[in-house]
Chains A and B, each alone.
Chain A
Amino acid sequence: MTTTQERRLEDTVLGSAAGRFYRHQNFGTGLLGGVGLGFLLWLLGEYTVNNNPNYGTDMVVTLTMLGWVIGFNLGVGTFNAVLHWILGHDQTKEDELYAAGVGQGKSRYWKYCTDHKVVGTQYLILVFVLFFIGGTLAMMIRTQLLTPNSSFLSPQTYNAIVSIHGMTMIIATIIMVSGPFANFIMPIMIGAKDMAFPRLNAMSIWVIVSAVPPLMATFFVGGVNAGWTTYAPLSVQDGPAMVCFAFTIITFVVSVTVAGINTLITVLTMRAPGMTFSRMPVFVWASVIGGALGLYAMPAFLLDMTMMVSDHATGTSFFVSAQGGSGWLWENVFWIMGHPEVYVILIPPVGALMEVFSTFSRKPMFAYKMIIGAMIGIAGLSIMVWAHHMFTTGWAPDLAGPFMLTTELISIPTGIIFLCAIGTMWRGSNWVRLPMYFGFLFIWNFIVGGVTGIYLSDVPADDYFHGNMFVTAHFHYTLLGGAMIAATAGLCYWFPKVTGRMLDEKTGRAAFWLIAIGFQVTYLAQFYEGFKGMPRRVANYDPIFAPENVVSSIGAYVLMAGWIVLLYALVSSWRSGSIAPANPWSAKSLEWQTLTPVPLENFLEDVTVVNDAYGYGERAELQVHAVFGSTSDAHHGEGH
């Protein structure tokens, strides 16, 4: 469909690129830049600070990681526009179009690209990569735990794997929806042409890509011993791997913050005429609330990790009690991030799932305003519950009551999510396609996760369950069985729009059953371990726990097999699935009303929203979500 005019445009954009370095930047030059600058700073460190007996290695690693992150982003072109402005040049129209990926075919997926759909796809690939790494590590953990007295892995390797499995999965789940779908789908949903800050958007993906290698590097410098929560002072005692780990987080927080601001401003300023707040799809609300909550939570993580690097590389003692610090400081700041973060993970997938429920039940969203209120309520309460992770630490025992209160209060808005889900399904037509399978699985898993959560919110019960496998099973039920399954429903739902192909549902259903059954077996067995009293994060255990560990490991293998089958279905459908129509689900929200593949700037005509996106079964005039083309009266009717 390339017109002559477009081709001329491409010629201008690419033609003017000849000879200029920054027209050749991609992932490869990023790697070169990162390794190059990392190596230079490593050399610098080796010859200047390495003689310090206590902090030398940690300082060198700090410098190397700094070099890697900056070098990679310089190399991939993250700072190009900024550098140009600093040097007194402006970005030309050609530069802008080049950055948007015009005329570069598939190679734009390997570049710094400001098109939000490209960024969304890049995020999707990154999420697959991270889940693949995290899943592989999980299999190693379950293999070690097959037998009570296993020496498959040394305790050091085991701890390193447990820590990196945790953090890889946390990073992956935080971005699994806010990365791919809040970037690809959300702007289309509100009728926007792109995100508010396309450059920041492109920056967010490449900064997060540069955060992954330091995480993997931990394996090569001793491994992180302290679990993903890296409680101090154990993490201060750890080797230079902890510095790499901290760099991953610091870099990651920069990315998430930038992405969160972008989502927020996009929704505030870029909505199509008529897209009032009360007409915004639930997923848009969820992305905004998740993003805003991330803006509150993530800086605490940055702060904690900065202090950690400082303790490691300069001998400050924020967390070392013998020198005036406190491990409780770490724990508090960590969980001030850590509990809102759980909802940063959970809210966007739940929003996506609500779209699925409405579309496939062929019914309007039930109690739309309540679910928005519930998500805001969850976000608000979630910043006041952090110390329920610290009931047994001995910190501020008098606050046990208040934190029990806030924690249990959060089950009221969470319950509303269930109410809205079942209200939307109630008497609906229930089109049982693959996204809906995962929707039902979410409901079951999240009930189990929620009910077990209330045991843990209760101090006397938590005094038994804290730090044992019960907690492990609980948060896997909420984050893997809840959030990640909801995200999978969203992925299957939006797959035709993102890839232009229909997902192979037969293979997808096979994967679903493996995942559903494998998951229950794995984590119900772990609940049982917890009831019996098996502690978390142990490389070996009392043989009385042996049978349920075998069951759990077998379940985990089935679960992993399920994910691999799903990955196969996704990749094979992406390659050679049948071509998807623009609106395979007959859904009403805007992303389904535009072409597939989605053109640059998303819509060929002006969009005016006239109703919300949930007019299923309504009178004909209420069923229309938006009208296209210049209808001047509508333009002036419902401005924002």
Chain B
Amino acid sequence: MRRLLGAGGAVLLGAAVIALVGVGFSAQAYSSPRGVQKATSLGTDMTCGKALPHVTLSFATYADASGTNDVGQQVHPGGNPSWPSYGPTNIFQAPAHACVTMHITQYDSGGSLNNPVFAKVQGTIGDTESVVSSGNSVSGCDGTSPLTYDGTPISAIQPCDAGHTFSLRGLPGIAPGFFVNVPLPLAGNAAGDNVGDLNSDAHQTVTFSFIAGPKGTYAWNCEYPCGLSVAGFGAVMGAYGYMSGYLHVV
């Protein structure tokens, strides 16, 4: 009986180890191994319509999570090559109640949103964004060829011209009405460039500002159906850390 119990204990421990390894693996693999990008301070200015501390964050969306960005880093270490991803990280940090200006460089192609609501800019200063195109050769869905923007503030894009969106939601009980939605128009060479080199690849640079809410961890995600399966929200969209992340407001 002793031998049996020793072995039984080993099985039990083994099971616990398997469970913990599984949990540990998933906790590690499905979290954000790429660190936190802290906002750069620009002092205090009137960007958000009144005198507020002004900070800025810059990041990009890539069509290929395993690709290398323009500073030679892999977008998503160990990332799935057929999945798009935000980069260099998906976790950002900004001070509470500060004026936050984001620059998102959009390298990916795109198509139609599931819900046209997300083609409207919402919750930014003036409810607008400005987009500057570079090297884009793809046509817009209304026939505009090529689909380019000149940096004039716009309040919406065509719902069928979306590449991705940056949709930052509020926190229950902390910032209940907070919501920022910014559509990122599609980009890309006709060949469908995947890599994301600022110097040589087609891209749309989207700039917008908003006032951060109170302290808390805010979740953002992309509302463009860039995954597979039902409604295009399977695969990458169900995998945390590619097209979803957090904004830590501290």
Instruction: List chain A positions with a Cβ less than 8 A from chain B.
Output: 53-54, 106, 109-110, 125, 128-130, 132-133, 136-137, 140, 148-149, 151, 153-157, 160-161, 164, 216, 218-220, 222-223, 225, 233-234, 236-239, 320, 322, 499-500, 540-544, 571, 574-575
- Please, how many angstroms separate the alpha-carbon atoms of A202 and B91 in the complex? 52
User: Which A-chain residue is minimally distant from B248 (CB atoms)?
Assistant: A151
Known contacts A153-B27, A160-B26, A543-B173, A574 near B5 by CB under 8 Å: yes
Known contacts A542-B173, A543-B173, A160 near B30 by CB under 8 Å: yes
B30 partner residues in chain A, CB cutoff 8 A: 154, 156-157, 160, 222-223
Contact status B230-A320, CB under 8 Å: yes
A130 partner residues in chain B, CB cutoff 8 A: 15
Contact status A140-B238, CB under 8 Å: no
User: Which B-chain residue is minimally distant from A320 (CB atoms)?
Assistant: B230
A500 partner residues in chain B, CB cutoff 8 A: 1
The reply on B190 being an interface residue by CB < 8 A is: no
Contact status B173-A544, CB under 8 Å: yes
Contact status B230-A236, CB under 8 Å: yes
Contact status A136-B19, CB under 8 Å: yes
Within 8 A of A (CB), among B3-35: 3-5, 7-9, 11-12, 15-16, 18-20, 22-23, 25-27, 30-32
Contact status B235-A149, CB under 8 Å: no
The reply on B239 being an interface residue by CB < 8 A is: yes
The reply on B144 being an interface residue by CB < 8 A is: no
Known contacts A128-B12, A154-B240, A575 near B26 by CB under 8 Å: no
Contact status A236-B229, CB under 8 Å: yes
Contact status B5-A575, CB under 8 Å: yes
The reply on B41 being an interface residue by CB < 8 A is: no
B3 partner residues in chain A, CB cutoff 8 A: 106
B25 partner residues in chain A, CB cutoff 8 A: 219-220
Contact status A219-B11, CB under 8 Å: no
B219 partner residues in chain A, CB cutoff 8 A: 155
Contact status A140-B15, CB under 8 Å: no
- Chain B contact patch, size range: 35 or more
Contact status A157-B230, CB under 8 Å: no
Known contacts A149-B171, A151-B246, A542-B172, A225 near B238 by CB under 8 Å: yes
Mask, B221-239, CB within 8 Å of A = 1, is 0000000111101110011
Within 8 A of A (CB), among B74-93: none
The reply on B174 being an interface residue by CB < 8 A is: yes
A125 partner residues in chain B, CB cutoff 8 A: 8, 11-12
Contacts A54-B228, A128-B8, A149-B174 known; 8 new A-B pairs at CB < 8 A? A106-B4, A132-B12, A137-B19, A149-B171, A151-B217, A155-B219, A156-B241, A219-B23
B173 partner residues in chain A, CB cutoff 8 A: 148, 542-544
The reply on B50 being an interface residue by CB < 8 A is: no
Contact status A154-B31, CB under 8 Å: yes
When the two chains form the complex, which single residue of B16, B172, B230, B238 contacts A156, counting CB atoms closer than 8 Å? B238
Most buried by A among B3, B171, B173, B233: B173
A238 partner residues in chain B, CB cutoff 8 A: 234, 238
Instruction: List chain B positions with a Cβ less than 8 A from chain A.
Output: 1-5, 7-9, 11-12, 15-16, 18-20, 22-23, 25-27, 30-32, 171-174, 216-217, 219, 228-231, 233-235, 238-241, 244, 246
- Please, how many angstroms separate the alpha-carbon atoms of A222 and B228 in the complex? 14
Contact status A154-B32, CB under 8 Å: yes
Known contacts A149-B216, A222-B239, A543-B173, A136 near B16 by CB under 8 Å: yes
* Count: A-B pairs, CB below 8 Å: 125
- Please, how many angstroms separate the alpha-carbon atoms of A125 and B230 in the complex? 40
User: Which B-chain residue is minimally distant from A499 (CB atoms)?
Assistant: B1
Which secondary structure characterizes the binding site on chain A? helix
Contact status A541-B172, CB under 8 Å: yes
When the two chains form the complex, which single residue of A133, A225, A234 contacts B19, counting CB atoms closer than 8 Å? A133
A237 partner residues in chain B, CB cutoff 8 A: 229-231, 233-234, 238
Contact status A132-B15, CB under 8 Å: yes
Known contacts A157-B31, A219-B26, A129 near B12 by CB under 8 Å: yes
Contact status A154-B234, CB under 8 Å: no
User: Which A-chain residue is minimally distant from B32 (CB atoms)?
Assistant: A154
Top 4 nearest A-B pairs (CB, nearest first) are: A219-B22, A542-B172, A542-B173, A156-B240
- Please, how many angstroms separate the alpha-carbon atoms of A109 and B25 in the complex? 31
* 6 interchain pairs, CB-CB under 8 A: A130-B15, A137-B23, A140-B23, A154-B240, A156-B239, A574-B5
A239 partner residues in chain B, CB cutoff 8 A: 234-235, 238-239
Most buried by A among B31, B228, B230: B230
B239 partner residues in chain A, CB cutoff 8 A: 156, 222, 239
B229 partner residues in chain A, CB cutoff 8 A: 54, 236-237
B7 partner residues in chain A, CB cutoff 8 A: 106, 109-110
- Please, how many angstroms separate the alpha-carbon atoms of A239 and B234 in the complex? 7
User: Which A-chain residue is minimally distant from B241 (CB atoms)?
Assistant: A154
- Please, how many angstroms separate the alpha-carbon atoms of A8 and B78 in the complex? 61
A222 partner residues in chain B, CB cutoff 8 A: 30, 238-239
- Please, how many angstroms separate the alpha-carbon atoms of A218 and B23 in the complex? 10
A540 partner residues in chain B, CB cutoff 8 A: 172, 217
A54 partner residues in chain B, CB cutoff 8 A: 228-229
Nearest-neighbour CB distance to chain B for A145, whole angstroms, equals: 14
Nearest-neighbour CB distance to chain A for B168, whole angstroms, equals: 15
A236 partner residues in chain B, CB cutoff 8 A: 229-230, 234
Contact status A106-B1, CB under 8 Å: yes
A156 partner residues in chain B, CB cutoff 8 A: 26, 30, 238-241
User: Which A-chain residue is minimally distant from B3 (CB atoms)?
Assistant: A106
Nearest-neighbour CB distance to chain A for B107, whole angstroms, equals: 21
Contact status A133-B27, CB under 8 Å: no
A164 partner residues in chain B, CB cutoff 8 A: 22
Nearest-neighbour CB distance to chain A for B94, whole angstroms, equals: 16
A133 partner residues in chain B, CB cutoff 8 A: 15-16, 18-19
- Please, how many angstroms separate the alpha-carbon atoms of A480 and B238 in the complex? 31
User: Which B-chain residue is minimally distant from A122 (CB atoms)?
Assistant: B8
B216 partner residues in chain A, CB cutoff 8 A: 149
Nearest-neighbour CB distance to chain B for A241, whole angstroms, equals: 10
User: Which A-chain residue is minimally distant from B6 (CB atoms)?
Assistant: A575
- Please, how many angstroms separate the alpha-carbon atoms of A236 and B234 in the complex? 8
Most buried by A among B9, B12, B15, B31: B15
Known contacts A132-B12, A133-B19, A233-B230, A157 near B171 by CB under 8 Å: no
B2 partner residues in chain A, CB cutoff 8 A: 575
B19 partner residues in chain A, CB cutoff 8 A: 132-133, 136-137, 216
- Please, how many angstroms separate the alpha-carbon atoms of A238 and B229 in the complex? 8
Nearest-neighbour CB distance to chain A for B17, whole angstroms, equals: 10
Nearest-neighbour CB distance to chain B for A419, whole angstroms, equals: 39
Nearest-neighbour CB distance to chain A for B162, whole angstroms, equals: 20
Most buried by B among A233, A239, A574: A239
B172 partner residues in chain A, CB cutoff 8 A: 540-543
- Please, how many angstroms separate the alpha-carbon atoms of A562 and B164 in the complex? 50
A160 partner residues in chain B, CB cutoff 8 A: 26, 30
- Please, how many angstroms separate the alpha-carbon atoms of A253 and B27 in the complex? 30
- Please, how many angstroms separate the alpha-carbon atoms of A600 and B176 in the complex? 68
When the two chains form the complex, which single residue of A140, A149, A216 contacts B18, counting CB atoms closer than 8 Å? A216
- Please, how many angstroms separate the alpha-carbon atoms of A238 and B8 in the complex? 35
- Please, how many angstroms separate the alpha-carbon atoms of A500 and B16 in the complex? 27
- Please, how many angstroms separate the alpha-carbon atoms of A114 and B20 in the complex? 33
Contact status B1-A155, CB under 8 Å: no
User: Which A-chain residue is minimally distant from B24 (CB atoms)?
Assistant: A219
Contact status B15-A157, CB under 8 Å: no
- Please, how many angstroms separate the alpha-carbon atoms of A562 and B40 in the complex? 50
When the two chains form the complex, which single residue of B1, B22, B174, B230 contacts A220, counting CB atoms closer than 8 Å? B22
